[in-house]
């Protein structure tokens, strides 16, 4: 399997949690209270699966490989992706800071959680589309067969040595629980038609 296909499959899992987070934010706004346990599970997933595993593969493995094939990292598509990764981390921190207050029914904390959750959802959904439809096809075109094999092996080393056995499965089960909690569809979205200009801006 192509390494970019592995990343696309991870996107489908992340999209499930974004759907659950959207429903969580909607419920928080409607009821003026947040379920702290479920919210912390969502933060755990976003921090350790979406960022610590998925984005880490891109930043430590895919992007350096693309740089070796002539893609700059300080401008252009990769620079956009890196900036959005950092923006996502800031939004996760802001969501986390609001959980206790929102769980206690504090209106300002509820509003903050909803605002930052919706901002994160919109940003990451757009980010995923850019990668699926623009960045990954560019990578597949530029990388050689040897590059693809090296990248696949490096992904496997990350899974085995840095993330650990069973951790991916743990977060996939967590995603299923989160979407089940809010009654949203468990299937990820199918990719839309590509927009080849999508990587050029934030």
Q: pLDDT tens digits for 83-103?
A: 999 999 999 999 999 999 999
Residue 190 pLDDT exceeds 60: no
Mean pLDDT throughout 23-45? 95
Burial class (CB in 10 A: 0-12, 13-18, 19+), 172: middle
DSSP state of 51: I
Would residue 189 count as lying in a domain?
Answer: no
The helices-and-strands tally (H runs, E runs) of the chain is 9, 0
CATH number at residue 113: 1.20.120.520
Is 165 part of a structural domain of the chain?
Answer: yes
What's the confidence (pLDDT) of residue 191? 42
Of 3, 83, 91, the closest CA to residue 47 belongs to 91
Q: ∠ at Cα 22 (196, 109), nearest 5°? A: 125
Residue 193 maps to a domain: no
Q: Please give the residue range of the domain that contains residue 95.
A: 3-182
Assess if residue 58 is contained within a domain: yes
**What is the three-class DSSP state of 62?**
helix
Residue 135 burial (10 A CB sphere; 0-12, 13-18, 19+):
buried
Q: What is the pLDDT of residues 50-59, one digit of tens each?
A: 998 899 899 9
Residue 187 lies in a domain: no
- 39 pLDDT higher than 60: yes
Residue 199 belongs to some domain of the structure: no
Question: 192 in a domain, yes or no?
Answer: no
Q: State the total domains in the chain.
A: 1
- Domain for residue 191, yes or no? no
- When the pLDDT of each residue in the chain is averaged and rounded to a whole number, the result is 88
Tokens standing for residue 134? 């623009």
């Amino acid at each position: 399997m192509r390494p970019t296909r592995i990343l696309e499959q991870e996107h489908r899992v992340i999209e499930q949690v974004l759907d659950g987070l959207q429903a969580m934010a909607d419920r928080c706004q409607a009821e003026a209270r947040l379920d702290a346990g479920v919210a912390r599970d969502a933060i755990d997933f976003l921090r350790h699966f979406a960022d610590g595993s998925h984005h880490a593969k891109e930043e430590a493995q895919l992007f350096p490989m693309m740089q070796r094939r002539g893609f700059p990292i300080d401008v252009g598509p990769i620079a956009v992706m890196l900036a959005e990764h950092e923006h996502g981390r800031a939004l996760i921190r802001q969501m986390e800071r609001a959980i206790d207050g929102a769980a206690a029914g504090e209106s300002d904390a509820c509003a903050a959680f909803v605002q930052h959750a919706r901002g994160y959802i919109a940003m990451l959904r757009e980010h995923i589309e850019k990668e699926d439809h623009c960045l990954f096809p560019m990578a597949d075109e530029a990388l050689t067969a040897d590059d693809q094999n090296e990248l696949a092996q490096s992904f496997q080393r990350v899974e085995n040595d840095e993330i650990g056995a069973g951790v991916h499965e743990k977060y996939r089960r967590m995603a299923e629980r989160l979407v089940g909690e809010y009654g949203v569809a468990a299937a990820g979205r199918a990719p839309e038609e590509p927009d080849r200009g999508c990587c050029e801006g934030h």
